[in-house]
Amino acid sequence: MLLSPKYRFLFVHIAKTGGTSVRAALEGLRWRDPWYWPMFLCSRFSHLSGHRIATKLPRHAKAIAAKEMLPKPIFDGLFKFAFVRNPWDLQVSSFHHIRRERPQFLGGHEAFSSFLRWKLDPRRPYQYHLDTSIELQSDYLIDLHGNLIIDFIGRYERLHEDFDTACQRIGITTPPLPHARKATDRQQDYRHYYTDETAELVATHFASDIDLLGYRFDSE
């Protein structure tokens, strides 16, 4: 999550949706924000206290966390945006990220289909790096009553165009959008990774996302 009091925006960072690139592009604005150093110090105090004083909005915090922590006039006055991604494509991206950077969390499942079945098994012990990527994207966008509290939902599939729209809404010139963490070890068409069974597993687990965001297995 990236909050800018000066530029009056809140970016809700959903894992594996291009958020690292968006954060990198907007990072320079923080140095021009007079609230940067107070926010930085609060973040450090929170870290040093083991986050027991709740002065930091975590990187992948949901929009409801900001709504609950910020004064209502402040939260309501922010332009709130996030990016989402086709759930089937997101799971392929997550698999390659874990295999490349955290292979110890594969649980012995080297093949995508086997890993996905294990990952979505509710009996599997909780593991942050796995469970963050199977949280519902829609949960990042709604309040406790299921109401959408995000002003703009961009799509990973048109990242540059939607990022430009977000910057226009913020009122800034669109900065270059780096392609952070570009994967070179996967087939680009996520559909090649799936069987009918594993495609249905994702459809069932992410039914709320598919309903809200309108994704389909054959979405381009």
Distances (CA, A) of 47 to 44, 56, 57, 121, 161: 5, 8, 11, 33, 36
Number of folded domains in the chain?
A: 1
Residue 218 lies in a domain: no
Residue 124 lies in a domain: yes
The string of pLDDT tens digits covering residues 8-33 is 999 999 999 999 999 999 988 877 77
Edge-to-edge strands of the sheet including 152-155? Answer: 2-4, 9-12, 79-84, 152-155
Helix (H) or strand (E) holding 155: strand 152-155
**Domain range spanning residue 74?**
2-213
Q: Is the pLDDT of residue 208 over 90?
A: yes
Three-state SS at 81: strand
Residue 220 lies in a domain: no
Give the separation between CA 15 and CA 72, rounded to whole angstroms: 26
Residue 128 lies in a domain: yes
- Strands, DSSP E only, in 7-128? 9-12, 79-84
Residue 181 lies in a domain: yes
CB under 8 Å to 2, separation ≥6 — which residues? 9, 10, 11, 13, 22, 23, 26
The string of pLDDT tens digits covering residues 131-183 is 998 999 999 999 999 999 999 999 999 999 999 999 999 999 999 998 755 55
Q: What pLDDT is stored for residue 140 in this prediction?
A: 97
Q: Is the pLDDT of residue 51 over 70?
A: no
CATH number at residue 24: 3.40.50
User: Is-contact 127 102, C-beta < 8 A?
Assistant: no
Residue 53 lies in a domain: yes
* Predicted model pTM: 0.87
Residue 219 lies in a domain: no
Q: Is the pLDDT of residue 89 over 80?
A: yes
Percent of the chain with pLDDT over 90: 68
CA 167-172-173 angle, 5° bins? 90
